[in-house]
Amino acid sequence: MLSRVADAIYWMNRYIERAENVARFVDVTLHLTLDLPGRTSAQWAALVQLTGDTTRFQEHFGTATKDTVLAFLTFDVDHPSSIASCIHAARANARAVRESITAEMWEQVNKLYLMLRTALAAGGVVEAPHDFFTAIKLASQLYVGITEATFSYGDGWHFGRLGRLLERADMTSRLLEANSVLLRPATMAGGMPGHDLQWSAVLRSVGALEMYRKRHGRITPEQVAAFLLLDREFPRAIHACLSKAEESLHALSSAPRGTFQNAAEQHLGRLRSDLDHIQLQDMMTGGLPTFLNALQARLNHIGVAIFDTFFDVPPVPAPAS
């Protein structure tokens, strides 16, 4: 497979996954502000922090309110994590490799793009935000289903799954980091109002509330963090994402699991192995935010290593004179 095709499929899936996650986070925050109206500003500020671009938001929008954050995370085409930017980028990548993906995949990405344009032109986001964000989530899930049903399990499929799962792991870690202040001993001892609602919202943001309750029952902050970090079966838990991503990475290189042939496999295998053996108490030793920052840095290193291994075309040496 050409490196440019692999790169486009990888990023097409990352962008669609990112758009879905941002839609999930915003939609849950909209509902949470109704349940905890006294903390509205803090909730919207935490959502901006989650996307990792607080400085740019403050420069262009100032105070975090419902309207400014919705504009930033939905409409702002200059913000790479906004829904509009992600869907535009996903469509551009899909169009560049139309001959390498299925017609159904291209049609679904294009439908998502047209749905976004229609909603923005008609003011649908402002009039019915829940309907809009639900439509984004369902369209993303439909794309994944179409990919599973129509795309052969070859290199293109593995590059797509690799991008989707790394993006999902990164966004779950950012969600936990944005809420990790609630795991500080002083906060927990103080019995912050809405504590259970906040952690229920964290679980709903990744569609995990029902599966968490089936597994653990009562919601506790430590158990939620452990579930979203270390669970091996829930598809949006970080450990589960990295395990499946590692499978695809080994399928691309044909290296047996437990070995590595490139830096991407080495970094991803080491991170997955660390999560195999770590416990929540170990993560809390230096503070959960510190652990999550280090985890995100390692995910970034994996992304760079994937680019260097598969997508970066080395220069052709000049012929000898």
For 111-154, the pLDDT digits (tens) are 999 999 888 787 657 678 888 999 999 999 999 999 999 999 99
318 within some domain: no
pLDDT band at 39 (very low <50, low <70, confident <90, very high): low
Position 90 scores a pLDDT of 97
Burial class of 132 by CB neighbour count within 10 A (0 to 12, 13 to 18, 19+)? buried
For 235-247, the pLDDT digits (tens) are 999 999 999 999 9
Q: Which domain holds residue 28?
A: 1-151
Domain co-membership, 303 together with 167: yes
Average pLDDT over residues 78-106: 95
d(CA 11, CA 60): 27
Domain co-membership, 124 together with 177: no
Domain co-membership, 1 together with 70: yes
116 within some domain: yes
Answer with the one of 151, 177, 209 that is the final residue of a domain.
Answer: 151
d(CA 209, CA 203): 5
Whole-angstrom CA distances from 167 to 17, 19, 110, 161 are: 7, 10, 21, 10
Answer with the one of 129, 151, 173 that is the final residue of a domain.
Answer: 151
Position 177 scores a pLDDT of 87
Q: Is pLDDT at 42 greater than 60 in this prediction?
A: yes
Position 319 scores a pLDDT of 59
Domain co-membership, 128 together with 177: no
Query: Quick count: other Cβ atoms within 10 Å of Cβ 95?
Result: 14
Q: At how many degrees (to 10) do helices 129-150 and 3-35 cross?
A: 150
Position 133 scores a pLDDT of 93
Two tokens, residue 80: 């790479």
Q: Is pLDDT at 262 greater than 80 in this prediction?
A: yes
Two tokens, residue 215: 């597994």
125 or 199, which is more confident: 199
Percent of the chain topping pLDDT 70? 90
Burial class of 222 by CB neighbour count within 10 A (0 to 12, 13 to 18, 19+)? middle
For 274-283, the pLDDT digits (tens) are 999 998 888 8
Burial class of 165 by CB neighbour count within 10 A (0 to 12, 13 to 18, 19+)? buried
Q: Is pLDDT at 318 greater than 60 in this prediction?
A: no
Percent of the chain topping pLDDT 90? 58
Average pLDDT in the chain: 88
